[in-house]
Structure 1
Amino acid sequence: MYNVVLLIERQLIELDANQIVSLQEGVDDDVTYHLLLPIESSAAVLGSSMSALGGGQFVPMTEPDTMAVVDQELHQAGEAELDESARLLRDRGQQVTARLTDLDPIDALKELVTETSADEVIILTEPHLVREFLKLDWTSRARRSLDVPTLHLLEHLPFEAQTEI
């Protein structure tokens, strides 16, 4: 069994699924993809929304019921994205497991890599130029703490376009 952990920032599209599967075409073993999608907590979402509005100076008290509703909505949206991403890979004949996490993405990644005895990690994100330059992006952090090959791909872009960025 060849285990590939995929840390994704958002739902895969057809192009992403095709490219991911093409990377393991030469593997002589059965491949299993383990999808990992981080979701934010309601507190993080509300905090970032407030800081975007006014510099983070004012944070209103929020009813616990409101926080629970926001958490549930975030979880449901994450599940829908994760289910669709898994379906795209399964439609290509792949074995897939999928999980959401509200942990730090790299902590959750390290846990899943250990749990699955991963042979490889693929991280799909949109471009984060400043974080990448400062080596604070998911891929840089993962490479510092994992002992498996770790590939960074830009989501929703063909391979050829990724070399231009």
Structure 2
Amino acid sequence: MTDTILVLIEDTLAPVDVEHLLALHPGETLEYRVLVPADTDRPLIPTIVDDLGMGELRQAWDRLRGREPSQQEAKATADEQLAGSIAAFAAAGRPATGEITADDPIPAAKAVVEAGGAREVAVVTYPHMFDDTFHRDWASRAREVLQVPVLHLYSGTSELG
């Protein structure tokens, strides 16, 4: 049986993200399983702080006005992100599988790990000032509940979260 790396993402993996993930285990044959939340319920204050910190004033205004994606929009976006991420692994010569989760991917990740379906977890997100600072990001929360190593990578960079 091949070991599996569980990958939690909030956006489509870029080729550089896949390169970084594959470089963590050179010479090993691993399987990759990607989890993407259909995010319809983003916390208001942390999301606005992130949007403002990134200079995304329009997104911050939309959030303040209560514009969240519908379930159908969130599912369609998650489907696209999953397909693009699996394609990025395939382009790098590594097959990957994946699934869409509820807003909070931690329970799904916990179920996979408890079923013996992952030896470690890689979380690939953009920086989130509020959540990262107060350790409420996915990686920090996963470290609290999962009994496997958890690595947090910032999307598009080689920086660790």
TM-score, normalised on structure 2?
Answer: 0.78
Equivalent residues in 2 for 1:105-124, closer than 5 Å: 105-124=105-124
* Structure 1 residues without counterparts, runs of 5 or longer: 60-68
Which structure: larger Rg?
1
Deviations 1:118-158 (A, max 9, x none): 1111001111122122111111110011111110000011x
The verdict on how the C-alpha distance between 1:130 and 1:72 changes in structure 2, with shifts beyond 3 A counting, is closer
Query: How far apart in 2 are the matches of 1:94 and 1:116?
Result: 21
What is residue 8 of structure 1 aligned with on the other side?
A: 9
The verdict on how the C-alpha distance between 1:17 and 1:125 changes in structure 2, with shifts beyond 3 A counting, is same
The verdict on how the C-alpha distance between 1:141 and 1:91 changes in structure 2, with shifts beyond 3 A counting, is same
Aligned residues, how many? 144
Equivalent residues in 2 for 1:108-147, closer than 5 Å: 108-147=108-147
Match of 2:80, as an amino acid?
A: A
Q: Shift of residue 98 of structure 1?
A: 0.8
* Structure 2 residues without counterparts, runs of 5 or longer: 48-60
What is residue 63 of structure 1 aligned with on the other side?
A: none
Query: How far apart in 2 are the matches of 1:77 and 1:135?
Result: 26
Deviations 1:81-139 (A, max 9, x none): 11010011012221211101115211111112223531111001111122122111111
Give me the CA root mean square deviation: 2.6
Q: Secondary structure at the match of 1:21?
A: helix
**Percent of counterpart pairs with the same letter?**
29
1:38 equivalent in alignment to 2:37: yes
TM-score, normalised on structure 1?
Answer: 0.76
The verdict on how the C-alpha distance between 1:16 and 1:2 changes in structure 2, with shifts beyond 3 A counting, is same
